[in-house]
Chains A and B, each alone.
Chain A
Amino acid sequence: MHLRTRHVLNRAFTGLGYVATSIMAGALLVLLVPIFVRGAGAIVFRGTVEFRRYLFEQEGRGDREAVHNEIAHARAARAPVYAMLAEAEKEIATAPLTRQRELRSALAELRDAIRELLGPDPGQRTPVLLRQQYGQTRWDRALVKLHEVLYTETWDYSDPSGMGRKVYVPRAEAFTGLGVTALFPYVETHLSAMLRPRLTLYWGFLTDDSRDAHFFGGIMPELLGTFYLTVGAMLIAIPLGVLTAIYLAEYAGDNMAVRFLRSCMSTLAGVPSIVFGLFGLAFFINTLHVSHSKSVLAGSLTLALLVLPTVIRASEEAIRAVPHTYREAALSLGASTWRTVCTVVLPAALPGILTGIVISMGRAAGETAPIIFTAAVSVGVPLKLWEVFNHPTPALSWNIYNVSTEHEAVDEIRHVQFGMVCVLVGLVLLLNLTAIMLRARIARKLKG
């Protein structure tokens, strides 16, 4: 091959390495940016008057005067809408009989769409479901609902070879010739007067209970559940893991039994997480009966087994990294092996062990599959501390799955889904950054 070609190939090879590395970094960005940007929307968003009414009526927050004032203003702006609807009712009664039925159903649909946007009609009995008691609480959702008020969605099958195409027909077309057509431009232009959007900072997303299947409220039960599960798992895994690491690093020789133990640990590390879930169900719940059915305790036990190999490996590495001179100094002063370990080796290895523990915590907090059958439920209230032994709990990871796939109105609560993912990822990232910083400190210390 030409020397020149070889050089070009060499450059290309280097370039390939850079490309692969930047694809990784790019993937991280592509993943994190939408999650954090849209996740922030759960806390900072343009809230409407309906949101403040909800906060005031359900949570008792907000200034009574101000909220009432605002509601009055919004009512005034909405009054013409309802007047036009009532007018339309009368007009339809005088319309030709052939058209009446069609018009009536179109009007009923319009009323429904408006109810979705603005909340129940004045004078209507309070609906049972919380989500029907209020209009759109968020301005971005209100704009979507406004589109639904203005347009109807139909499918165009005119092209027989392709699939049906979605087309939007202005709702006004159904009412041509009636006075109610004036309603559409009015709603479009006066929407902000009717809903009065204002930039809102809603920290309650983190501290409130969820209401009406996450249509309103926050994610406190999930946060608390994740906290219980993670802390429980670490309480079990840390003593087991660190003691095992001490044994492996300080006591164990290189014999068959120890080699067998090590290969068991790597097998345990390779078991798929969903299998841990099934095992937790079959063993902790159906055999040991640690609780009647799903519980935080059973979930924590399962998660503890899952993170155990990570804790062991990290702790063992940290203990092995302690210089031999430390041990020799302690032993030469007459300390026993155990005393050496407890007073000299462990304190020196502590930052390294902590790093491993913090990373394992992140893993335990994010795992979903092991807790599906052992601990997680989709709806629940925050647990008291003594309830963890026999109560299941909602948890962030499981509820992300639940609200984004099995929820009855997945599209309506995107902000909650993104908010949950954002909180979980943020939590895990925080833990990992702590670990990275800890490690940097160790490196600096070792350097001198």
Chain B
Amino acid sequence: MDEAGAQGIADKGAREVTTRGCCPPSGLLLSAGARRRQRFFHFLGQGFLFGVASVSAIAVFFIFIFIVRDALPFCTWARLRDFFTSTRWYPSGSPPEFGALAIMYGSMMVTVGAVVVAVPLGIAAAVCLSDVLPFSLRQVVKPVIEILAAIPSVAYGFFALVVFAPLLQDHGGRVLAILVWLFGVPVGALAVLVASDMLSRRLTSGGERRGQGLIAAALATVVVIALVWLSRRAATIQIDSGTNALNVSLILGIMALPTIVSVSEDALQAAGSELREGSYALGATRAETILNVVIPAASGGISAAIILGFMRAIGETMVVWMASGNAAQLPRPLYNYLMPVRTLTATIAGDMGEADHVTGSERYHVLFVMALVLLLISFACNSFSEWIIWRRRKRLGV
């Protein structure tokens, strides 16, 4: 029926054109009135579309306005100073104390942990996807990344809480020892190889094979001893609570992976094949080409990827709420990832239920201050990554 209507309008337009025209060439032109009308409708339609398109801009403004509006009642200098410098978070005490330093530190801690997990893995996987894997395998890996990105955060949180946390709590030492071996062996082997090569160059002027072999054997012994010592140390560690910063960092790292992989893969692909071919022609291996030529060329996109991964981790709510332990305290010592922490997002989610949001208590408004902090961080990160991409585009002259 819609189509029929459209057809009718089109017919009318056609008739108008043919009847009003007096001679054949002008029969193809519209009359002044019709043209005006058409231009008017065109203008109107475009205005309407622009209006629809600006909904997301309006939404961004409203988000800022309403978060700020509800954050303002909390903002006196004394309270803000406490908020940013004190670690005492007792919102239901009398008088209540709103020191969010420990909470912000917790947020930073799990986010940094997630980035440390996700960035090396993500960039290595992106390199693998763009330069190493054959096309057919790439078609298999891409859906894996997509699915990893699509799994709801609450499912990750549930996994962290119900499967991973008990594992850490009961066999924490063993898990850590296994991790030490898993990462120590390849890293140690590479380090031995490079160091022995360098040293043999330095010591035996010519770099003989035998000299290198001896040095490598000596270094390897040292590395193995160090690994054994480290894993022994790790195996004795008793994790008191499986819901801690380490657990959350690992899971958040996995969650941030897809973002980092896909954005940095795009950047690596965009670096183009001329660069690679130039480097190969100079005799570089693939590893050298990628590390010395492609990655520097794609550094803008890769840093954008890291920032986006960071944003994903810092804004994540459910995983940290369920599995971080929610203890509003600074871990002791400060770098102790085995202590429970609490983050901004988890505090907002957890405290809003108890905050009396109808009358708008202090406690309600302090959560909006936290949301504002999160919003500003993500806004800054977003602007920064946009700026990086914009700069690259400008430099390339696209």
B127 to chain A, nearest CB (A): 5
Q: Is the CB of B147 within 8 A of A432?
A: yes
B262 to chain A, nearest CB (A): 12
Q: Is the CB of A270 within 8 A of B382?
A: yes
A274 touching B151 in the complex, CB below 8 Å, given contacts A373-B352, A401-B318: no
Q: Is the CB of B63 within 8 A of A9?
A: no
A292-323 CB mask vs B (1 if < 8 Å, else 0) is: 00000000000001001100100000000000
| Residue B281 at the chain A interface, CB threshold 8 Å | no
Alpha-carbon gap, A418 to B147, bound state (A): 19
B276 to chain A, nearest CB (A): 14
A303 to chain B, nearest CB (A): 13
Chain B contact residues, majority secondary structure: helix
Q: Is the CB of B124 within 8 A of A19?
A: yes
Nearest residue, chain B, Cβ from A11: B287
Alpha-carbon gap, A264 to B55, bound state (A): 10
Nearest residue, chain A, Cβ from B368: A278
A269 to chain B, nearest CB (A): 8
Q: Is the CB of A278 within 8 A of B128?
A: no
| Residue A20 at the chain B interface, CB threshold 8 Å | yes
| Residue B35 at the chain A interface, CB threshold 8 Å | no
Q: Is the CB of B288 within 8 A of A265?
A: no
| Residue A210 at the chain B interface, CB threshold 8 Å | no
Q: Is the CB of B257 within 8 A of A24?
A: yes
Q: Is the CB of B158 within 8 A of A404?
A: yes
A37 to chain B, nearest CB (A): 11
| Residue B338 at the chain A interface, CB threshold 8 Å | no
Q: Which of A24, A263, A283 contacts B144 (CB 8 A)?
A: A24
Query: A residues within 8 A CB of B69?
Result: 282
Alpha-carbon gap, A64 to B318, bound state (A): 45
Query: B residues within 8 A CB of A414?
Result: 162
B129-173 CB mask vs A (1 if < 8 Å, else 0) is: 101110000000101111110111111111101110000000000
Q: What is the number of residues of chain A that contact chain B, defined by CB distance less than 8 Å?
A: 94
Q: Is the CB of A266 within 8 A of B386?
A: yes
Query: A residues within 8 A CB of B133?
Result: 17, 21
Q: Is the CB of B194 within 8 A of A5?
A: yes
B236-271 CB mask vs A (1 if < 8 Å, else 0) is: 000000000000000000100100010000000000
Q: Is the CB of A243 within 8 A of B52?
A: yes
Q: Is the CB of B63 within 8 A of A244?
A: no
A2 touching B197 in the complex, CB below 8 Å, given contacts A18-B132, A260-B57: yes
Q: Is the CB of B379 within 8 A of A270?
A: yes
Query: A residues within 8 A CB of B127?
Result: 17
| Residue B67 at the chain A interface, CB threshold 8 Å | yes
| Residue A93 at the chain B interface, CB threshold 8 Å | no
A143 to chain B, nearest CB (A): 19
| Stretch of B77-85, B87-95, B328-336, B370-378 that contacts chain A | B370-378
| Residue B229 at the chain A interface, CB threshold 8 Å | no
Q: Which of B10, B62, B383 contacts A279 (CB 8 A)?
A: B62
Query: B residues within 8 A CB of A308?
Result: 55-56, 59
A265 touching B56 in the complex, CB below 8 Å, given contacts A274-B349, A282-B66, A404-B158: yes
Q: Is the CB of B288 within 8 A of A6?
A: yes
Query: B residues within 8 A CB of A10?
Result: 285-288
| Residue B46 at the chain A interface, CB threshold 8 Å | yes
Alpha-carbon gap, A312 to B315, bound state (A): 21
Q: Is the CB of A273 within 8 A of B382?
A: no
A residues 352-404 touching B (CB-CB < 8 Å): 359, 362-363, 365-369, 372-373, 397-398, 400-401, 404
Alpha-carbon gap, A1 to B68, bound state (A): 58
Query: A residues within 8 A CB of B285?
Result: 6-7, 9-10
A435 to chain B, nearest CB (A): 8
Chain A contact residues, majority secondary structure: helix
A201 to chain B, nearest CB (A): 24
| Residue A13 at the chain B interface, CB threshold 8 Å | yes
Alpha-carbon gap, A271 to B318, bound state (A): 15
Q: Is the CB of B124 within 8 A of A240?
A: no
| Residue A424 at the chain B interface, CB threshold 8 Å | yes
Alpha-carbon gap, A61 to B119, bound state (A): 54
Residue of A15, A264, A404 with most partner-chain B CB within 10 A: A264
Query: A residues within 8 A CB of B317?
Result: 272-274, 368-369
Alpha-carbon gap, A23 to B314, bound state (A): 23
| Residue A428 at the chain B interface, CB threshold 8 Å | yes
A residues 236-273 touching B (CB-CB < 8 Å): 240, 243-244, 246-248, 251-252, 257, 260-261, 263-268, 270-273
Q: Is the CB of B159 within 8 A of A28?
A: no
A267 touching B322 in the complex, CB below 8 Å, given contacts A312-B56, A401-B157, A428-B150: no
Alpha-carbon gap, A418 to B379, bound state (A): 36
Q: Is the CB of A28 within 8 A of B66?
A: no
Query: B residues within 8 A CB of A267?
Result: 60, 379, 382-383
Q: Is the CB of A397 within 8 A of B154?
A: yes
Q: Is the CB of A14 within 8 A of B287?
A: yes
Query: B residues within 8 A CB of A397?
Result: 152, 154, 318
A17 touching B125 in the complex, CB below 8 Å, given contacts A251-B49, A271-B63: yes
Residue of A276, A287, A339, A400 with most partner-chain B CB within 10 A: A400
A279 touching B286 in the complex, CB below 8 Å, given contacts A20-B125, A240-B52, A247-B53: no
Q: Which of A312, A336, A369 contacts B345 (CB 8 A)?
A: A369
Nearest residue, chain B, Cβ from A31: B159
**Top-8 shortest CB links A-B:** A366-B152, A272-B315, A17-B128, A13-B287, A20-B124, A264-B57, A247-B49, A10-B285
Binding site for A on B (CB under 8 A): 6, 10, 38, 42, 45-46, 49-50, 52-57, 59-60, 62-63, 66-67, 69-70, 120-122, 124-125, 127-129, 131-133, 141, 143-148, 150-159, 161-163, 186, 189-190, 193-194, 197-198, 201, 207, 212, 254, 257, 261, 285-288, 290-291, 308, 311, 314-318, 321-322, 345, 348-349, 352, 357, 367-368, 371, 374-375, 378-379, 381-383, 386
Known: A277-B349, A401-B318, A436-B143. 13 other contacts (CB 8 A): A6-B285, A9-B287, A12-B190, A17-B131, A240-B52, A247-B46, A248-B53, A271-B375, A272-B378, A273-B315, A336-B38, A404-B158, A404-B162
8 examples of A-B residue contacts, CB within 8 angstroms: A16-B124, A19-B124, A243-B53, A265-B56, A279-B62, A287-B66, A404-B162, A429-B147
